[in-house]
A = this chain, B = another copy of it.
């Protein structure tokens, strides 16, 4: 027996017991005739004590223990004279009678502490040491708990977890697939799923009624900072449902998860139409932890000989409370430069300061009288001490820019508080997006999304402008400005699905070749159905108030898609290539 207890469970009630503990040496301290060793495992840290006077040999042995040595000890639980209230085991220590080294350790390349001195690359190369750190280990435990609670909730709601295949078929629509050459079918390839979308719809046709799966998905994308080539979804689908059935069910799921992991009841989630989200926050995933709703000003700002506004499609502003005195001219200049940065792209920033002394200071004071600017204050609900920031230009771009500024101000003023969670459903997304460059429509959600029932006739017969305005039965769940899930009611009618493929630029042959199996299934009694998928990695991060998903993934890849610990991907043997009927083509593209 390697241990009678773990390193986190002994308490004052255990005094006098002989116990066996195993774990890692966190650190040792020599104080006079005493040597203290902190012994660590997943469950906690327990202090071991060795007395030079009582057992010189054992104590000498203990003094030679290096950091991260793996040891087994037998000893007696004693009360500590100097207790550590910050540690659950802080009232006791183990007076060691036997010590055995189970495995030695080289000096680790970085400290195994909550705050490590290891850089990103080093931590990833020695990920097995990085995970020993409590914050990362806690992330793994949180993730495991979250997935189990997800399953427990969905089980009580009658969902069945069904595993869908990983070796499927490549579909050029959407993101790039990872492909897998087939040895048994020369010249042919499987693809790894970007999502189980078509399979979960087939499961609805199959009468599974309520499906879920926590499942890996794959996208061969150029990796941005926080994207991973493999990622995990909570994937769900239900039959015989309208939108409300789905929203209620998955709002219930997320509320359950918050209650059972963070002990927090989120209450009912507000629902906002996509158009309203864009109008009020310039974003389809607004962070509702703070206000600063957009106020559109075309009616009050045009016609005052300020050509910038007069020529703008949209003039829109936000009111930032209480910073009038705090933000100097220099600050305003810096903020103007901030919105002018290429990744924001505003031409300039107009502000109106309502100062504490009642005066008004503005970059556009020579075009607008104080009376006019005062009337704007009413429109915005601004008071003394507040500042309006106003942007103008083409509608979509301006909204996006102001959304960035709003989030930046929220950040600078600490309005987006950690531990505060503001969920939201965003509804009624457009069905199609027109892309000017390729002169074609793209599916805003995906090609299987149903238009809203009242829009179906327009979809079947509408002209270009009508098509642009079609709304979908699609919805996203947003928490604190992060999209954590999204879904839709699906098309379950072959003709409507064929029409959608046509609008998306598929020839009938392409549609048949890629999705014939699904359209065929729709002819054999497909029930109405819909569902959604949560980004599980993102959900873990958002619930912990963190912006990066990487520390919630045990073995993530770096930005080149590499696992630098195992050094993958790597070259393979020529005979492997030959068996797969492929060869390297170094010129590639």
Contact = CB atoms under 8 A, between A and B. Distances in A.
A169 interface: yes
Interface centre among A172, A181, A241, A567 (most CB of B within 10 A): A181
B525 A24 contact: yes
A270 to B, nearest CB: 23
A583 interface: yes
Contact of A566 (B105, B166, B169): B169
Interface stretch (A83-91, A199-207, A256-264): A199-207
Contacts of A517: 565-567
Contact of A555 (B144, B165, B192): B165
Interface residues of A, number: 129
Nearest to A190: B569
Contacts of A565: 202, 517
Nearest to A564: B517
A585 B581 contact: yes
A237 to B, nearest CB: 13
A582 B583 contact: yes
Contacts of A190: 178, 568-569
Contact of A42 (B166, B186, B209, B216): B209
Interface in A557-574: 557, 560-563, 565-573
Contacts of A108: 524
B206 A131 contact: yes
B22 A162 contact: no
Contact of A527 (B70, B130, B151, B223): B70
Nearest to A210: B42
Interface stretch (A121-129, A293-301, A368-376): A121-129
12 contacts: A2-B240, A3-B240, A24-B525, A24-B527, A169-B566, A169-B567, A169-B569, A170-B572, A180-B569, A184-B222, A185-B562, A580-B588
Interface of A: 1-3, 6, 22, 24, 40-43, 68-70, 102-106, 108, 126-132, 137, 140-141, 143-144, 147-148, 151-152, 155, 160-170, 172, 176-192, 198-199, 202-203, 205-209, 216, 218, 220, 222-223, 229-230, 232, 240-242, 245, 492-493, 517, 521-528, 553-555, 557, 560-563, 565-573, 575-589
